[in-house]
Amino acid sequence: MKPYTVQISQHLETYENASDVPFTPPDTEITYFDGEHQLINVVSWIRYPSYDFIFGVPVSGKRYEHEIGMFCLRKKNDKGNVTTRTIYVDIEECQEIISGLSDVLKLSKKHSPHLWKKYNEKQRS
- Is there a single domain that holds both residue 22 and residue 72? yes
Q: What is the DSSP letter of 9?
A: P
What confidence score (pLDDT) does residue 125 get?
Answer: 82
Q: Which of 107, 97, 103 is nearest to 70 (CA)?
A: 97
Q: Is the pLDDT assigned to residue 9 strictly greater than 80?
A: no
Mean of pLDDT over the chain: 84
Same-domain check for residues 65 and 121: no
Query: In the chain, what percentage of residues exceed pLDDT 70?
Result: 90
In single-letter form, the type of residue at position 17 comes to N
Instruction: Give the separation between CA 25 and CA 9, rounded to whole angstroms.
Output: 17
State the virtual CA torsion across 19, 24, 25, 26 in degrees, nearest 10.
-100
Residue 1 banded pLDDT, cuts 50, 70, 90: very low
Q: Is the pLDDT of residue 6 over 80?
A: no
Higher-pLDDT residue of 118 and 1 is: 118
Q: The whole model's pTM is what? A: 0.78
Strand order in the sheet with 4-7: 4-7, 28-33, 39-47, 51-58, 69-76, 82-89
pLDDT at 18 over 70: no
Contact assessment for residue 47 and residue 28, using Cβ atoms and an 8 Å cutoff: no
What would the mean pLDDT of 47-67 be, rounded to a whole number?
A: 84
Domain count, the chain: 2
Based on the fold, state whether residues 54 and 81 are members of the same structural domain: yes
Q: What domain range includes position 28?
A: 4-89
If asked whether residues 96 and 85 sit together in one domain, one would say: no
Pairing of strands 4-7, 28-33: parallel
Residues 73 and 62 in one domain: yes
Same domain, 80 and 103: no
